[in-house]
Amino acid sequence: MDKQEQNYFEDTLSILKKDINLTKKRINETEEELEINKKKLSDSFYEIDKGEELASVYTILTALEETSVDQRNKLQRLEKQKKSPYFSRIDFTLTGENCPQKIYIGLTGIKDKANMLVYDWRAPISSMYYDFTIGRAFYRVGKQSHTGEISLKRQYKIENETLLAYFDTNLTIEDDILRDVLSKNSSVKMKQIVSSIQKEQNVIVRTEEFDNILVQGVAGSGKTSIALHRAAYLLYSHRNTIKSSDILVMSPNNIFSSYISDVLPELGEENLIETSYDQIARVELRRPLESREEMLDRIATTPSQDELNDISYKSSFEYLGELIKFLRGDFLRTFTPQKLSYVIGIKKNENDVEQPITEDFTADQTSKLFFDTFKNMTIAERINKIAWQYAMYFTEKRGYNKEQNRGLRDRFKKLIYNFLPLKDIHKIFEIFQTRLGLSVNNSDEIGYMDKGALLIIKNYIYGFEHDFSAKYLIIDEMQDFSPIDLFVFKKLWSCPSIVLGDINQCIEKCLNQEYLKQVSDFLGTELIELKKTYRSTKEIAEFTHKMIGLKDVEYVNRNGQKPKLFKTPDTAKTIAEIIKNECGEFAHTAIICKCQQEVKILAKMLNGYVDYTVLDQPDDYNNKVILTTCATAKGIEFDCVIVPFANAENYINSLDKNILYVSSTRALHKLFFLSDTTPTKFLKGIEE
Cα-based torsion angle of the residue sequence 201, 194, 472, 68 in order, rounded to the nearest 10 degrees? 180
- What is d(CA 228, CA 238) in angstroms, rounded to the nearest whole number? 15
- Please say whether the beta carbons of 590 and 578 come within 8 A: no
* pLDDT at residue 3 greater than cutoff 70: yes
Of the listed ranges 127-141, 195-209, 560-574, the least confidently predicted one is: 195-209
> Which pLDDT belongs to residue 172?
47
- What is d(CA 160, CA 163) in angstroms, rounded to the nearest whole number? 9
Confidence band (pLDDT; 50, 70, 90) for 686?
confident
DSSP, res 57: H
Q: What are phi and psi of 12, to 5 degrees?
A: -65, -45
CA 444 to chain centre: 29
- Please say whether the beta carbons of 124 and 140 come within 8 A: yes
- Please say whether the beta carbons of 171 and 653 come within 8 A: no
User: Strand 110-112 vs strand 213-217: parallel, antiparallel, or unpaired?
Assistant: unpaired
- What is d(CA 541, CA 562) in angstroms, rounded to the nearest whole number? 10
AA letter at 646: A
Give the tens place of pLDDT for each residue, 334-364: 999 999 887 766 777 777 666 777 778 899 9
Please list the alpha-helical segments (H only) found in 442-556. Answer: 451-461, 483-492, 513-523, 538-548
Identify the CA nearest to 233 among candidates 258, 209, 198. Answer: 209
- Please say whether the beta carbons of 599 and 628 come within 8 A: yes
Of the listed ranges 146-155, 241-250, 255-264, 608-617, the least confidently predicted one is: 255-264
- What is d(CA 505, CA 587) in angstroms, rounded to the nearest whole number? 25
CB burial of residue 3 (10 Å; 0-12, 13-18, 19+):
exposed
The residues, ordered by sequence, that sit 6+ positions from 367 with a Cβ below 8 Å of its Cβ are: 337
Give the other-Cβ count within 10 Å of 406's Cβ: 14
Please report the beta strands in 160-219, taking only residues with DSSP state E, as ranges in sequence order. 162-168, 213-217
Give the tens place of pLDDT for each residue, 6-37: 999 999 999 999 999 999 999 999 988 888 87
Averaged pLDDT, 647-664: 93
Averaged pLDDT, 546-551: 91
CA 648 to chain centre: 36
Question: Terminal CA-to-CA distance of the chain, rounded, Å?
Answer: 48
Give the tens place of pLDDT for each residue, 151-191: 999 989 898 999 998 888 765 444 555 555 545 555 556 67
Averaged pLDDT, 88-94: 95
Looking at per-residue pLDDT, the higher value among 77 and 97 belongs to 97
- What is d(CA 168, CA 166) in angstroms, rounded to the nearest whole number? 7
Give the tens place of pLDDT for each residue, 287-311: 999 999 899 999 988 878 888 899 9
CB-side exposure of 431: number of CA atoms within 13 Å? 12
Helix (H, G, I), strand (E, B) or coil at 168: strand
Please list the alpha-helical segments (H only) found in 525-629. Answer: 538-548, 571-582, 596-606
Go through the chain and tell me how many residues it has.
688
- Please say whether the beta carbons of 99 and 7 come within 8 A: no
> Which pLDDT belongs to residue 39?
78
Give the tens place of pLDDT for each residue, 423-452: 999 999 999 999 999 988 888 899 999 999
Identify the CA nearest to 629 among candidates 407, 296, 378, 351. Answer: 296
Helix (H, G, I), strand (E, B) or coil at 558: coil
* Percent share of the chain, pLDDT over 70: 91
Of the listed ranges 342-351, 460-469, 622-631, 669-678, the least confidently predicted one is: 342-351
Angle, in degrees to the nearest 10, between helices 317-326 and 425-435: 120
Give the tens place of pLDDT for each residue, 599-642: 999 999 998 888 888 887 766 667 889 999 998 888 888 999 99
Of the listed ranges 141-155, 388-402, 592-606, the least confidently predicted one is: 388-402
Give the other-Cβ count within 10 Å of 135's Cβ: 9
User: Strand 625-629 vs strand 589-593: parallel, antiparallel, or unpaired?
Assistant: parallel
Please list the alpha-helical segments (H only) found in 327-398. Answer: 363-368, 379-398
Of the listed ranges 124-128, 320-324, 389-393, 502-506, the least confidently predicted one is: 389-393
Q: Is the pTM of this model over 0.75?
A: yes
- Please say whether the beta carbons of 117 and 13 come within 8 A: no
Q: What mean pLDDT is reported for the chain?
A: 88
Confidence band (pLDDT; 50, 70, 90) for 211?
confident
> Which pLDDT belongs to residue 80?
87
The residues, ordered by sequence, that sit 6+ positions from 232 with a Cβ below 8 Å of its Cβ are: 122, 264, 267, 268, 269
- What is d(CA 624, CA 254) in angstroms, rounded to the nearest whole number? 20
- What is d(CA 224, CA 671) in angstroms, rounded to the nearest whole number? 22
